[in-house]
Structure 1
């Protein structure tokens, strides 16, 4: 029944004031293992980027080598969007630029090459809610924030290039 709620989910701006925190990355410790789940980074707020899967490793490598990626980060565990199916945590935030136009993406990978259709229904529902959340956020803030579902770095770059 909770999955059916996702079909009608609507995110709305509450109140006239918007709040954000300047300490977004300052209070969190970055921990990982250099040989198993971290790569060196020149385009993230940290010297290293943590990844949780081979798909994420591929994405972070693609972000590092792509000249259009200006900055990216693996989003911390506390960055969550509330949904009727539980909290949703997108994997990446990426600032992509081409010909002077910038595009902010919140990117989620599909947990491998099988794609969205092979995810658990609750994961699909959380992703759908995340997309709706960012759609309304972009509309309300008059920005161009997007969320894309990808399975590898090349796919992300192709989508990003086609939408700018």
Structure 2
């Protein structure tokens, strides 16, 4: 009889011997630090910066609608009606609506912007009172667009101020080792790929083609001793939500300049592609690792964003 195995069975993904390597313990001891953050936030400064940015950049496009006219086809069949072919399109005419403020829809302008920016109604009102009459007049043109663009621009200024006034204070508390075992059996291993040699688990679930290629090269690089896809429980607190870095890598001593590295993998290195929350979390992580290094040992851990294994090697050499 043939022994037919079922490849659809879920893989078991236990920690392997790489987890016990001294090089991984050294890496983990360096990044296993918690910290509390504080932001000395000045509402008046935010109001001033937001007003300047809105006056310079807020541009709202008028609401548009399209009028299409057509004629019934000469031959109308059941199938034609079902497929939308019973009428023949003759003209398409775009129109702009410049009187949308007279719509029956009522907007809580201050409330909507306060909700989207997580600012108080008073601070939101101070910003709106500060912008020019011409810029504020765009609300008449397209209320929805005015609100969403105002929220976006204020949040950009808020994120910039957060980074400028953010400080981290490392604390004695550390992560428990159970973050490496919690939730491992619930992963979808259909995207896990082949068994690995240098990872702390036999398999790793990747989120993208970028990550799959990154793992392939990490696992075959002779200068890499051990690496880990950091578990979801490894979190750095930031004012815009907790941040979970992607990778921790330990290289051979003497082979590279930065032996211990924490990497965030992104498809594009351009900050234009990342949303404001992502950009802010990455900037916060830089401050976190800078403070950890400063307090415990200079240049212990290097943190950066990479879009490929080649980029990582450029940074560590």
Considering the TM-score relative to the shorter chain, is it more than 0.5?
yes
Correspondence list, 1:7-46, <5 A = 7-14=164-171, 17-30=172-185, 31-34=187-190, 36-46=191-201
Structure number with larger C-alpha Rg: 2
User: Deviation at 1:38?
Assistant: 3.5
The number of residue pairs the alignment matches comes to 157
Correspondence list, 1:1-150, <5 A = 1=155, 2-3=158-159, 4-14=161-171, 17-30=172-185, 31-34=187-190, 36-99=191-254, 103-110=259-266, 112-113=267-268, 115-142=270-297, 144-150=300-306
Is the contact between residue 55 and residue 109 of structure 1 (CA under 8 Å) also seen in structure 2? yes
Cα distance, 1:63–1:121 mapped onto 2, change above 3 Å? same
User: Deviation at 1:137?
Assistant: 0.8
CA distance, structure 1, for counterparts of residue 289 and residue 214 of structure 2: 21
Alignment gaps of 5+ in structure 2? 1-154
Equivalent residue of 1:49, what SS? coil
CA distance, structure 2, for counterparts of residue 114 and residue 23 of structure 1: 33
Aligned-residue CA RMSD (Å): 2.1
CA distance, structure 1, for counterparts of residue 207 and residue 270 of structure 2: 17
CA distance, structure 2, for counterparts of residue 115 and residue 121 of structure 1: 12
Query: Which structure features the higher share of helix residues?
Result: 2
Question: Residue deviations 1:111-150, cap 9 Å, x none?
Answer: x135333201111010000111011111211151111111
CA distance, structure 2, for counterparts of residue 18 and residue 33 of structure 1: 32
Equivalent residue of 2:204, what SS? strand
Cα distance, 1:152–1:138 mapped onto 2, change above 3 Å? same
CA distance, structure 2, for counterparts of residue 51 and residue 154 of structure 1: 18
Alignment gaps of 5+ in structure 1? none
TM normalised by structure 2 equals: 0.46
CA distance, structure 2, for counterparts of residue 41 and residue 146 of structure 1: 24
Cα distance, 1:89–1:125 mapped onto 2, change above 3 Å? same
